Amino acid sequence: MAALTALCGLLVLGAACGKKVMPVPQDNRELFTWRSATATATANGCIVARGEAQGNVDNLASVIVEIQVLDAPANGAGDSCAGCPFQATSRQEFRPEKQLTPQATAIVEMTMCPDRKAPAYRWRLVGVNVLTRFAHALSKVQTLVADPNAPGFNLPVEEAAPQQQTEIVLP
């Protein structure tokens, strides 16, 4: 009898073992990803970010631009935080206009003017799905040189006229 009780106890304890995380939706038809993401610095210190989303872009609820300020390194070696984990110091959310017809891709462009100007920024785009159970679509983290004359940041920078609204262009 004691052996049977011990066996039942082990079965109950064994049932509690395993993966303990929230279930993740598996329907990939509801997802979108970033095909490409680029950013340019404007003459007035703003950042124009542009991303091309692919997949079910009708589920794109909003786009968040996240930036991390990079100060010029003392040794002039470029990105002072290459290899560091990305830690956004500023973020701004944009809500694109609702699309009328389903498309395979959508281009989103937004302008963000950081509170703190810096010679360079690390940045990424975050696509938020209307279905809240799905994970956000993250672009890769990139470095944007805003001031090519700053020590250690001597890369070319494209200049673009600032735009003050979010737009979606359907190809």
Task: Say if pTM beats, i.e. exceeds, 0.85.
Answer: no
Q: Which domain holds residue 138?
A: 28-152+165-169
* CATH number of the domain to which 40 belongs: 2.60.40.2060
* In a domain? residue 136: yes
Tokens of 140: 């890769």
| Number of domains forming the structure of the chain | 1
For residue 169, the SS3 value is strand
- Has residue 164 got a pLDDT over 50? no
- Tell me the sheet residues that pair with 69: 121
64-88 pLDDT, tens digit each: 999 999 876 544 555 556 678 899 9
* In a domain? residue 132: yes
- Residue 84 near residue 72, CB atoms below 8 Å: no
Phi, psi of 167 (to 5 degrees): -140, 150
* In a domain? residue 22: no
* In a domain? residue 14: no
For residue 106, the SS3 value is strand
